[in-house]
Amino acid sequence: MFFNSFEEISDIAMGFSSNLQGQASHEALLGRQDAEIKLLDTMRRCLTNKVKSDRDYASTISSLTTQGRKVERSEDLAGSLIAQSWKDIMDSVEQSAKLIKQQADLMESVVVEHISSLHTERRRARKLYQEEHTWLNNQFQQLTDDVARKKTEYQKSLEVYKLMRSRFEEHYVKSGRGGRKLDEVREKYQKACRKLHLTHNEYVLLLGAVTECEHDLRTSYLPSLLQRQQAVHQEFIVTWKSILQDIVKYSDFTTEKFLEIHTRMEKAVDTIKPIDEYKDFIGKHRTRPASPIRFTFEENLIDDTSGKLLPNKLTVDNLTIDWLRSRLTELETSLKTTQLSKQAMLTPPEPICDSKILSVDYSREREELRQRCQEKKLLRQAEVIRGALNELGCEELPSGCDLSMEGSFTEPAVNNKVPLRGVCNLSNNQKGGGGLIEEEWFHGVLPREEVVRLLVNEGDYLVRETTRNDECQIVLSVCWDGHKHFIVQTTSEGHFRFEGPSFPSIQELIVHQWQSGLPVTSRSGAILRTPILRERWELNNDDVVLIDKIGRGNFGDVYKAQLKSSKIDVAVKTCKVTLPDEQKKKFLQEGRILKQYDHPNIVKLIGICVQKQPIMIVMELVPGGSLLTYLRKNASTITQREQLRMCKDAAAGMCYLESKYCIHRDLAARNCLVGYESIVKISDFGMSREEEEYIVSDGMKQIPIKWTAPEALNFGKYTSLCDVWSYGVLIWEIFSKGGTPYSGMSNSKAREKIDTGYRMPTPEGTPDEIYRLMLRCWEYEPEKRPHFEQIYTVVDTLSQAL
């Protein structure tokens, strides 16, 4: 009978696990358990009194049934079929007073004892569930505490590193060439630097590991706990129903009058369906699954490390290479041990039977989770280290390349022996490097991430310039079993080489390497086959003449400039030379996106200058400046027709971007430009992504809160419908003539009010249709917002109607 009942309730086995993961649901479930325990207690007391009243015949029957109807915490049992059935039984008992005496002894010896046993089991099951849920919460807290402790250790190592670096620089300046004191300070500085790098790596590894563990706890263990708990609850209902059936059995009557009463009591019990018992409860207390705990790298920890340490990226150099290899060996050994232990636990668990469902033991599931979590931690850390060791700068650097700290404090060569070093000062090395600018396969200071995009097929290669430890170097990048990067070395005679012969110029070295078909290094096996030439939009820096500074961007200054060849005025965004490669990559992202687009309402890209520093993005010059400035400057003269045309221009541009699966992420009046005849053009694609959906994983520090959709702020999830929300704020700015959204509110206050349903009121003079469009753009659920194609149709229709 148990297994049939279990199969009956299995259809909704996912009810608890998918709908009751939140804290409010947990508290409600505990409340429901308390209410059921109270109900059991009430039933036990009432049936005991019923036996007594049977023996005293019917003198106390009225008070008995009255007491039976007084169920504690009845509000928590709303919709309970058990509670309703109990009430109906009490009504019938009141009518059967004269026949109860015959069944009193059996009622006491069977039913009351069964209820007492169920009551004890119910209390124990509740305690076990609460303890398991508390343990789970403690696991989440422990993960958070582990990250906080490692962060504190990181900060301490960073402080020691800064102090030792300061002392070394001070003694180096004072002592000149050397001395015992300088050696001692240098040793302490190197020790502190090594400690910082190791702590950095441990921090990165820990973040990846706890993320995996937290995900497993939240998506596997918690649903499993709730699923088992639902099985327990429903099996209690099966047992409970059996008790009520016994009550009916021992209240059996033979006369026609009381057979009728008995029939009503049977019907009251038959209405109980374990599968339906918790439907109303789940519907009332439904909550969303628990949000993941986000573990992010604290980027301010590395603000003062000269760009040598990068967030979420292992540092691979001569300070850490041996540690990383040793750590990888340890991880692989531990992983094998964990996997063997995990296999040993694969014996199938005992089948769940009637006696065990009321005594749930989570120890096996907990141990399986621990083994699985440990395996994922080890796998993740091993993968991160393997990836780091396979990148350039570790296994594939050519011989003679120095990765030591002395790159920042180079001392004079001893005994006139000059070691092999990277190519320095390209602009002054005319013989070796000056002519490189004329070579089509030389891509200047194009960042490594952009270079990788160009190298697609095996043997594709190009040459670029980079800086390591404040030293300029020429790098050969090759697509070969992934991507390899080789630093061109100089000899004491000023020639250039890899592992083979040296040549007077870099051009001759590259041509020899290409024509000979020999590997660049024996270990890499990389062979040069196809030179990748500069793209048409890669301009020479000298082709652009900067005229006037007209603004400042996130990465550097913005200039009005002129192209030498055509004398066309252009706008030029520059990137600070001192920015790390990661920031330069983000800077060039705007150019990479814009080069694909051609639309009258999208600012046009003319080219990118990467032949030397500073890197520049060259775009069409839009003379009217930002839309926000234009609105505020012309607030007294701007017409409604002009405002509608601006909305139409912006909608047309965004409709085009949506068709290209481009998410702008920063649409606002400040990022739109006003051209000739007041045409509006979408600009500033620094935060854009070319995806149908984009999940932010690097923090939300630069997010424009008051322009950003709720799902992006709450979950980091971006789609074109997020841009629709921003468009609603943009047209509010247009019709408020440059007003400040959510004026007088902080970012956090505006975000809080939006989540509670607040929407900005309509600006004065705004057509009703436009305000209705704003409200549609500000629908909380993304799927309820219109797409830009619909928006354009609405605005175009209104524009033509004027």
List Cβ neighbours of 181 (8 Å cut-off, separation of 6 or more).
171, 175
Rg (CA), the chain: 37
> What is the pLDDT at residue 694?
52
Is the pLDDT at 636 greater than 90, yes or no? yes
The DSSP output letter for 736 is T
d(CA 278, CA 274) in angstroms, rounded, equals: 8
> What is the pLDDT at residue 554?
76
Element housing 776 (H / E): helix 768-777
The candidate with the shortest Cα–Cα distance to 530, out of 435, 483, 462, 464, is: 462
**Half-sphere exposure at residue 233, Cβ-oriented, CA atoms within 13 angstroms:** 32
For the record, the structure tokens of 785 come out as 């917002």
644-660: average pLDDT: 94
Element housing 647 (H / E): helix 640-659
Tens of pLDDT, residue by residue over 724-773, are: 999 999 999 999 999 999 999 999 999 999 999 999 999 999 999 999 99
> What is the pLDDT at residue 192?
92
Give the DSSP per-residue string, 399-457: TT---SGGGGSPPPPGGGPPPPEE---GGG-TTTTGGGGG-TTB-TT--HHHHHHH--S
d(CA 351, CA 50) in angstroms, rounded, equals: 39
The candidate with the shortest Cα–Cα distance to 266, out of 238, 245, 291, is: 245
**Half-sphere exposure at residue 800, Cβ-oriented, CA atoms within 13 angstroms:** 5
581-599: average pLDDT: 80
Contact 460, 504 (CB under 8 A): no
192-201: average pLDDT: 94
> What is the pLDDT at residue 97?
62
Helix 256-270 to helix 81-95 angle, to the nearest 10 degrees? 170
Tens of pLDDT, residue by residue over 171-180, are: 877 766 567 8
For the record, the structure tokens of 675 come out as 């051209």
d(CA 344, CA 341) in angstroms, rounded, equals: 5
Q: How many other C-beta atoms lie within 10 A of the C-beta of residue 335?
A: 17
Binned at pLDDT 50, 70 and 90, residue 420 comes out as very low
More confident position, 55 or 149: 149
The candidate with the shortest Cα–Cα distance to 205, out of 102, 330, 361, is: 330
Q: Where are the domains of the chain?
A: 2-145+229-285, 419-531, 538-620, 627-801
Q: What is the CATH number assigned to the segment(s) 2-145+229-285?
A: 1.20.1270
d(CA 718, CA 699) in angstroms, rounded, equals: 14
Tens of pLDDT, residue by residue over 501-525, are: 999 999 999 999 999 999 999 888 9
For the record, the structure tokens of 728 come out as 């609603």
Tens of pLDDT, residue by residue over 301-325, are: 887 776 668 888 888 765 787 788 7
The candidate with the shortest Cα–Cα distance to 468, out of 302, 308, 299, is: 308
For the record, the structure tokens of 664 come out as 């702008």
The candidate with the shortest Cα–Cα distance to 169, out of 161, 401, 577, is: 161
d(CA 703, CA 714) in angstroms, rounded, equals: 12
Q: How many other C-beta atoms lie within 10 A of the C-beta of residue 246?
A: 16
d(CA 627, CA 521) in angstroms, rounded, equals: 55
Q: Say which residue the tokens 């952009």 belong to.
A: 450
Tens of pLDDT, residue by residue over 477-486, are: 999 999 999 9
Query: Edge-to-edge, what's the strand order for the sheet holding 483-487?
Result: 483-487, 471-479, 460-468, 530-531
d(CA 92, CA 251) in angstroms, rounded, equals: 10
Q: Which H, E and C letters describe 300-368, residue by residue?
A: HHHCCCCCCCECCECCCCCCCHHHHHHHHHHHHHHHHHHHHHHHHCCCCCCCCCHHHHCCCCCHHHHHH
Cis peptide before 614 (omega within 30 of 0): yes
d(CA 217, CA 226) in angstroms, rounded, equals: 12
Is the pLDDT at 438 greater than 90, yes or no? no
Binned at pLDDT 50, 70 and 90, residue 786 comes out as very high
> What is the pLDDT at residue 413?
30
> What is the pLDDT at residue 411?
30
Tens of pLDDT, residue by residue over 260-287, are: 877 888 888 888 888 888 888 888 888 8
Catalytic site residues? 666
Q: How many other C-beta atoms lie within 10 A of the C-beta of residue 614?
A: 21
SS3 of residue 123 by DSSP: helix
For the record, the structure tokens of 625 come out as 């400046």
Binned at pLDDT 50, 70 and 90, residue 643 comes out as very high
Contact 568, 668 (CB under 8 A): no
Helix 363-390 to helix 180-216 angle, to the nearest 10 degrees? 140
Element housing 212 (H / E): helix 180-216
Is the pLDDT at 426 greater than 60, yes or no? no
d(CA 399, CA 406) in angstroms, rounded, equals: 17
* DSSP strand pairing (530-531 vs 460-468): parallel
When the pLDDT of each residue in the chain is averaged and rounded to a whole number, the result is 82
More confident position, 582 or 531: 531
Per-residue buried b or exposed e for 76-111, using 16+ beta carbons within 10 Å of the residue's own CB: bbeebbbbebbeebbbbbbbbbebbeebbeebbeeb
For the record, the structure tokens of 184 come out as 């001692």
> What is the pLDDT at residue 393?
35
Q: What is the CATH number assigned to the segment(s) 627-801?
A: 1.10.510.10
Tens of pLDDT, residue by residue over 551-562, are: 887 788 999 999
> What is the pLDDT at residue 453?
85
For the record, the structure tokens of 280 come out as 């109303």
587-613: average pLDDT: 85
Q: Which H, E and C letters describe 675-704, residue by residue?
A: CHHHCEEECCCCCCECCCCEECCCCCCCCC
More confident position, 183 or 412: 183
The candidate with the shortest Cα–Cα distance to 580, out of 305, 392, 192, 195, is: 305
Instruction: Please name every residue paired with 619 in a beta bridge, in sequence order, or none if there are none.
Output: 571, 605
> What is the pLDDT at residue 432?
41
User: Is 781 exposed, middle or buried, given 0-12, 13-18 or 19+ CB atoms closer than 10 A?
Assistant: exposed
52-66: average pLDDT: 70
> What is the pLDDT at residue 402?
35
Is the pLDDT at 142 greater than 90, yes or no? yes
CATH 3.30.200.20 assigned to 538-620: yes
Helix 222-249 to helix 256-270 angle, to the nearest 10 degrees? 180
Lowest mean pLDDT of 94-103, 162-171, 297-306, 343-352, name the range: 343-352
d(CA 434, CA 430) in angstroms, rounded, equals: 4
d(CA 47, CA 24) in angstroms, rounded, equals: 34
Tens of pLDDT, residue by residue over 682-710, are: 988 766 665 555 555 444 446 899 999 99
**Half-sphere exposure at residue 514, Cβ-oriented, CA atoms within 13 angstroms:** 18
Contact 562, 569 (CB under 8 A): yes
Q: How many other C-beta atoms lie within 10 A of the C-beta of residue 472?
A: 19
Alpha helices per DSSP H over 217-318: 222-249, 256-270, 274-277, 279-285
List Cβ neighbours of 773 (8 Å cut-off, separation of 6 or more).
728, 731, 786, 791, 794, 795
Lowest mean pLDDT of 458-472, 637-651, 715-729, name the range: 458-472
The DSSP output letter for 391 is S
Contact 592, 637 (CB under 8 A): no
Q: What is the homologous superfamily of the domain 419-531 according to CATH?
A: SH2 domain (3.30.505.10)
> What is the pLDDT at residue 61?
65
Tens of pLDDT, residue by residue over 614-632, are: 889 999 999 888 999 999 9
- Residue ranges of the binding site for ATP: 550-558, 573
